[in-house]
């Protein structure tokens, strides 16, 4: 499991609260609770599989923004 500081979503069945498409990716925003606080993660699904693009975000808006940034970086790396 990856950690950001002392925060991370434990492996489990994700509670998906929002999905959307961005280019050829399907993004799923997950909500969980940690120490009484709601936390969010973003999964990015594509032809080759899926990735936990955002292991922790404090808000849905932040999870979406970071997931889109992950996709931008993916496209930059694959276009080299």
Q: What is the pLDDT of residue 34?
A: 86
Q: Helix (H, G, I), strand (E, B), or coil: what is residue 55?
A: strand
Q: Does residue 6 surpass a pLDDT of 80? A: no
Q: Which tens digit of pLDDT belongs to each residue from 66-80?
A: 999 999 998 888 875
Give the pLDDT score at 5: 57
**Residue-averaged pLDDT of the chain:** 88
Query: What gap in Å lies between CA 21 and CA 58, rounded to an integer?
Result: 21
pTM for the structure as a whole:
0.79
Report DSSP state, residue 47: T
Dihedral (CA of 50, 51, 52, 54) sign: negative
Domain ranges of the chain: 16-78
């Amino acid at each position: 499991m990856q950690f950001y500081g002392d925060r991370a979503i434990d492996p489990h069945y994700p509670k998906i609260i929002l999905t959307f498409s961005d280019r050829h990716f399907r993004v799923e925003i997950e909500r969980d609770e940690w120490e009484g606080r709601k936390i969010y993660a973003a999964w990015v699904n594509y032809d080759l599989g899926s990735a936990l693009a955002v292991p922790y975000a404090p808000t849905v808006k932040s999870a979406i923004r970071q997931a889109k940034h992950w996709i931008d970086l993916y496209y930059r790396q694959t276009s080299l």
